Chains A and B, each alone.
Chain A
Amino acid sequence: MTAFLTVNNLSAALHGYEQRVLRSVSFSIDTGEVLGLVGESGAGKSMIGKAILGILPSAVDIIEGEILLDGQDLEKMKPADRRRLIGATAALIPQDPLTALNPSRRIEPQITNRLVDILGWTKSAARVRALELLNEVHIDNPERVMASYPHELSGGMRQRVLIASAFAANPKLVVADEPTTALDVTVQKQILRLIRELQARHSTAMVFVTHDLGVVSKVCQRLSVLYGGKIVENSSVADFFDGPKHAYSRALLAATPKYTDPEASLLPVDEAVIEAVAAEVLAADREWRHGG
């Protein structure tokens, strides 16, 4: 079976700079599979999600590589066609529920816009679907929420609305960009369970961006560890937690706080490991420059 999403040798750089921010990233995801992208802040994990969905900041250029969505190369498509393909098959669960809903519009059109405008549903059909979705994300009074403005809802509620909105058009691919980072811990757990539930029900392929290995172990089947925009290890979740192969991955795993052992102090990642992985990234850079 061919993968639903394939990223091949994807490199990106800041506009006008030679230094790459994504370094020959390759991975693929099958339908119904969840891939975790983990790494420190600035490792480029969100960048990959944004590149797939075509929402990279204007200062970042894709300089080589391909992104195949459902067998079609996004980089080679006309912008209007790419927009329609992504609109019809992919969705985003953003990081910050506070800015991800338009503050001056009610919830209902924010969920139904895509259905009506892009997929040509009737307004009433879209409304029925939106109510159904809000039920699916366990919102008690969907009618009232649909008529609300975002500022009238709590952070957890907004994230539920965003999840409902992401799954509105039955997407085949969802990019979840640290969907629980901005929420407090008790709400995080519910939201994770919810994402998992909807992903399984719709058998969606999912890219799950996070810095939290604990979350990865609960949600993902496979994971890619990133450092400096380069994937240093691809692994299944089961293998990874048995014992990661790469020294940097081992160090990351060791630095994860263990709630079962409150006495254990938080350990920073060993500097020698960081230096080693940084050297590895730079070596790959040199090789890439000579090759290309």
Chain B
Amino acid sequence: MLDGRGSVKRKLGARLWLSGTWLGLMAVLALLAPWISPHDPLAQDLFAGRLPPFWLDGADPAFLLGTDSLGRDVLTRILHGARIAFSVALIAGLATAFVGSLLGLLAGYMRGWVDVVISRLVEIWMAFPPVLFAILLIAVLGTGLTSIIIAIVVIDWTRFCRVVRAEAMNQSAMDYVSSAIVAGRPRRDILWREILPNVLPTIVALLTLEMGIAVIVEAILSFVNLSISTDAPTWGGMIAEGRTSIHQAWWVLAFPLGVLFLTVLSFSQFGEGLKDRFDPVLR
């Protein structure tokens, strides 16, 4: 295929397609959850507890993926859980990318004392065990969506910072940066208009990876009951509940786990696919 400039356009890879479709589908379902969910995610019905999914004996067609031990609809809770997971992924991912990339760009481009301060900070930061760090933070901040997002940003900005710093250093050594300096362009201008566009593919790839990590961290915190409220429909919380009844009702554990797995995998694959496609040098 040729585009307008006469250059060869690469086809969208299968992994970009598959992961993109899954993420798109989940995002739409998450957005529409309050309207398309068959039940109320918090409504309990102890007489309808542990109903199996629709293809098994004893299923109630009103509960497609069955119910948990308190009689709450699994499908409804997965859809509402997607809302929480995607909000965390989007907000925490973007905030982490912003903080980490900004510091990484400054360190890699300005070097000198700025680099020394930021790099030492990263090293100190990374010496803390991340999950413990998160649990401590939540303990201090209190539970809730905002706390989870803050915890993820505080823990994971170093991931962006290190990679973006290295990339900014590579780009700064390129001749086009020298040319821009000779042309009398201000340093700020060189950072934002010359270097940033070349670091952006890396940031995007890391961002999607980070979104997957944010989903996992949120699930972990929910699993240890440090997420939102105890009965809130989170994937991690569902997995934790399902664990206790795995022999009687495997579906309570299996469905949210499968959805979580596919979502995290799709985020990382989507990022890799995007990087391949938008890297100006590989393109």
**Chain A interface residues toward B at CB < 8 A:** 50, 53-55, 58, 83-84, 86-88, 90-92, 94-96, 99-105, 110, 113-114, 117-118, 144, 147-149, 151-152, 162, 165
Indicate if the CB atoms of A99 and B198 lie closer than 8 Å.
Answer: no
Indicate if the CB atoms of A114 and B181 lie closer than 8 Å.
Answer: no
Indicate if the CB atoms of A103 and B185 lie closer than 8 Å.
Answer: no
Q: List which B163-196 residues lie within 8 A (CB) of chain A.
A: 174-176, 178-186, 189, 193-194
Cross-interface CB contact of B184 among A58, A86, A101, cutoff 8 Å: A86
Other CB < 8 Å A-B pairs besides A100-B178, A118-B183, A151-B283, 8 of them? A53-B182, A54-B181, A54-B182, A83-B186, A94-B178, A102-B197, A113-B185, A148-B5
The 3 A-B pairs at the shortest CB distance, nearest first, are namely: A87-B184, A100-B175, A114-B183
B15 in contact (CB, < 8 A): no
Indicate if the CB atoms of B182 and A99 lie closer than 8 Å.
Answer: no
Report chain A residues within 8 Å CB of B182: 53-55, 86-87, 90-92
Indicate if the CB atoms of A103 and B280 lie closer than 8 Å.
Answer: yes
**Contacts A113-B183, A114-B183 given; does A103 touch B281 at CB 8 Å:** yes
**Contacts A92-B178, A148-B5, A151-B280 given; does A103 touch B184 at CB 8 Å:** no
Q: Which residue of A lies closest to B281 (CB)?
A: A103
Task: Give A113 to B186 CA distance when docked, in angstroms.
Answer: 11
A147 to chain B, nearest CB (A): 7
Indicate if the CB atoms of A87 and B283 lie closer than 8 Å.
Answer: no
Indicate if the CB atoms of B175 and A118 lie closer than 8 Å.
Answer: no
Cross-interface CB contact of A101 among B7, B112, B176, cutoff 8 Å: B176
A54 to chain B, nearest CB (A): 7
Q: Which residue of A lies closest to B194 (CB)?
A: A102
Indicate if the CB atoms of A118 and B197 lie closer than 8 Å.
Answer: no
Task: Give A151 to B193 CA distance when docked, in angstroms.
Answer: 18
Report chain A residues within 8 Å CB of B181: 53-55, 83
Cross-interface CB contact of B111 among A50, A58, A100, A152, cutoff 8 Å: A58
Task: Give A224 to B52 CA distance when docked, in angstroms.
Answer: 88
Q: List which B1-29 residues lie within 8 A (CB) of chain A.
A: 5-7
Q: Which residue of A lies closest to B181 (CB)?
A: A55
Indicate if the CB atoms of B176 and A84 lie closer than 8 Å.
Answer: no
Task: Give A71 to B174 CA distance when docked, in angstroms.
Answer: 31
Report chain A residues within 8 Å CB of B176: 99-102, 110
**Contacts A86-B182, A90-B182 given; does A104 touch B280 at CB 8 Å:** yes
A-B contact pairs, 17 of them (CB 8 A): A50-B178, A53-B181, A53-B182, A87-B182, A92-B178, A92-B179, A95-B175, A100-B176, A101-B176, A104-B197, A104-B198, A113-B185, A114-B184, A114-B185, A117-B184, A117-B185, A148-B5
Interface centre among B6, B182, B185 (most CB of A within 10 A): B182
Indicate if the CB atoms of A103 and B198 lie closer than 8 Å.
Answer: yes
Task: Give A147 to B5 CA distance when docked, in angstroms.
Answer: 8
Indicate if the CB atoms of B175 and A99 lie closer than 8 Å.
Answer: yes
Interface centre among B111, B112, B176 (most CB of A within 10 A): B176
Report chain B residues within 8 Å CB of A88: 184
Task: Give A149 to B6 CA distance when docked, in angstroms.
Answer: 11
Indicate if the CB atoms of A99 and B280 lie closer than 8 Å.
Answer: no
Cross-interface CB contact of A152 among B5, B185, B281, cutoff 8 Å: B5
Task: Give A147 to B6 CA distance when docked, in angstroms.
Answer: 11
B260-283 vs A, CB cutoff 8 Å, 1 = contact: the mask equals: 000000000000000000001101
Q: List which B195-253 residues lie within 8 A (CB) of chain A.
A: 197-198, 200
Q: Which residue of A lies closest to B187 (CB)?
A: A83
Q: Which residue of B lies closest to A101 (CB)?
A: B176
B9 to chain A, nearest CB (A): 12
Indicate if the CB atoms of A100 and B179 lie closer than 8 Å.
Answer: yes
Cross-interface CB contact of A96 among B111, B175, B197, cutoff 8 Å: B175
**Contacts A94-B179, A151-B280 given; does A102 touch B198 at CB 8 Å:** yes
Report chain B residues within 8 Å CB of A105: 193-194, 197
